Structure 1
């Protein structure tokens, strides 16, 4: 069978307008295949509403109503029912993991089709869930024809993937550099507001593994003309606000809260360096690094064991990689990058363009699907 008429179904937890890293990848795959190859890659997902719906764009989206969430896992009986109904209408099932609900649906109602697993990360935080779920995880890995990892590091380091090395294919996440809307007016406002300052920008949910407290403390050791802007919302907002005022850094570190999407490009363009201070392997890749690099911004990120983060940002080339959980090292990294910003900026863009575009990701996937004939 020619791979052009191969029918593919992506199975993921959610799908935009519910946004997260995995949802964005799934969207870019379906959208990218249609624009590059006029092929429809349909999607089966849970919706954050309680009712089922079906959408037809250039591809179909089957959205299934949610009952609730247990251990970060959406629960939906209609998802299992819909899977049972459509599972044999496709040649390839492209499964985004972690997603215990989907694996259990496939276990209850197996398919004869080829299964491709997109392994975004191990189940890291939910130890109880992993204990209960492990037999199912082993089962699905055995069933899979191929397992996609987003960085070579992850494939080698992930304990779950050790027995399946021969099935692994590395396809880095790619993004569309022209997707973010320009906002010239807001850009000029920001330039006026921060005139004469060096800007360090950081972005992410304000949660434990993002390591923002180390970035706040690093501000103490940065030159007086340097300002750190942190975008994002989350449970640590209050704690970080208190820390900033205790360290008397209210002029130097600013929590921006959630940044509206139409203002985001203005912050990337404004900054001199982007910082990803994450401290834990829950940060498996760090797509924000790609966003920064696509705007020609050098990156300071951390050398998280078992994570693709330090692979994405190449130390000494597209930026600097420092020890996680170390505010002195972060400050030193930021100072180094500010000094070499010109060269590093060009390199960052080159690295992005060579490895991490949406089209590159789609073409690599197209190649993989065609090998499954």
Structure 2
């Protein structure tokens, strides 16, 4: 790989990642760095966690909080423009949606090739969309390629259509570091503690930020309506954590739910290893893939997801690796969980299919190779 390919990625915030997009960016940059010098420009972590040592170059901007689900990190713009105008970086890779990425696409020098990974549509901010849609279209006109992880990212999108974007689509599946997704990297003490909490009962796991589109209130209600006995482990935190804890008390299931909060990576791997079933109850297409469900599948776990008509349902194949239910339907979610809890043989069959699916289609090595090939094409023609 020629050393004169020097990509700059604009991310939302710095490692350590606490969400799927940031985890994807971190893994991609770790894979690309041995091939070419990579730079990440992003805001400080919203959790306040210090940025760990990473193999790629990091430029940080102050995080001024959040407004309308967007992080207030305007400082990323001058940092990125300085790198592009000076020639230290000669390719720009954006991760959308992100209004700062849209602005940078329009301000970047015209000779700089621009790539965008389309992670999801904007769903909730309907009041600003009539204005923001024009900015989105301008961004899609500026970029040379639009990467999507699955065909469902296109068919399930209302914003990735028009303006010629369809002709720029390139399918590169999200990759996983499969060597790291093994029990050998898990915290054995956490595994033992979770199994003690389960006390022989099947364990359902979910991982994600406690935000509106994750659908966790429907999961907790579903847990209260299940016929089978199981325990629920919830990894993650967010603005809705207190409400979810209160709902668990109200539904009478708090003694069977373990809220673990944000935990280190070895503890998260322990939860993936210990669980019997993984569920991703997200209710909005803001959840366009579900990286945590992919990691659970790599551990050989069956999944229960919602029918969102996008990449979630390409990754989680209904009736093969997963059970899919209508969103916002606690009764249907309870029935799907009951079915897997009551049938260990079905769990094993779906779990084995899930592991095989991930190994065949979602490796980090394939993702890095395809991305590097795209960079080479854009920089050298």
Instruction: Write out aligned runs for 1:4-15 (5 A).
Output: 5-15=4-14
Work out which of the residue numbers 332, 335, 339 in structure 2 matches 1:332: 335
Deviations 1:65-99 (A, max 9, x none): 34554333334454322233221423321111112
Q: Shift in Å at residue 260 of structure 1?
A: 3.9
Change (3 A) 1:221 1:97: same
**How many Å separate the matches in 1 of 2:372 and 2:192?**
41
**For 1:127, what is the secondary structure of its paired residue?**
coil
**How many Å separate the matches in 1 of 2:139 and 2:93?**
12
- Per the normalisation by structure 2, the TM-score is 0.87
Instruction: Write out aligned runs for 1:223-302 (5 A).
Output: 223-302=227-306
Instruction: Write out aligned runs for 1:95-174 (5 A).
Output: 95-163=94-162, 164-174=165-175
For CA contacts below 8 A with separation 6 or more, give which structure has more relative contact order: 2
**How many Å separate the matches in 2 of 1:98 and 1:64?**
18
Conserved? CA contact 1:303–1:323, under 8 Å: yes
**How many Å separate the matches in 2 of 1:86 and 1:111?**
14
Structure 2 residue runs of 5 or longer lacking an equivalent are: none
Number of residues of Structure 1 aligned to a counterpart in Structure 2 = 365
Does residue 191 of the first structure (1) align with residue 186 of the second (2)?
no
**How many Å separate the matches in 2 of 1:250 and 1:20?**
25
**How many Å separate the matches in 2 of 1:55 and 1:178?**
21
Does residue 210 of the first structure (1) align with residue 214 of the second (2)?
yes
Change (3 A) 1:259 1:58: closer
Deviations 1:317-336 (A, max 9, x none): 11211111112211222233
Does residue 41 of the first structure (1) align with residue 47 of the second (2)?
no
Conserved? CA contact 1:149–1:168, under 8 Å: yes
Q: CA RMSD in A?
A: 2.5
- Per the normalisation by structure 1, the TM-score is 0.89
Conserved? CA contact 2:235–2:261, under 8 Å: yes
Structure 1 residue runs of 5 or longer lacking an equivalent are: none
Aligned to 1:359: 365
**How many Å separate the matches in 2 of 1:68 and 1:196?**
43
**For 1:13, what is the secondary structure of its paired residue?**
strand
Aligned to 2:69: 72
Change (3 A) 1:217 1:46: closer
Q: Shift in Å at residue 303 of structure 1?
A: 0.4
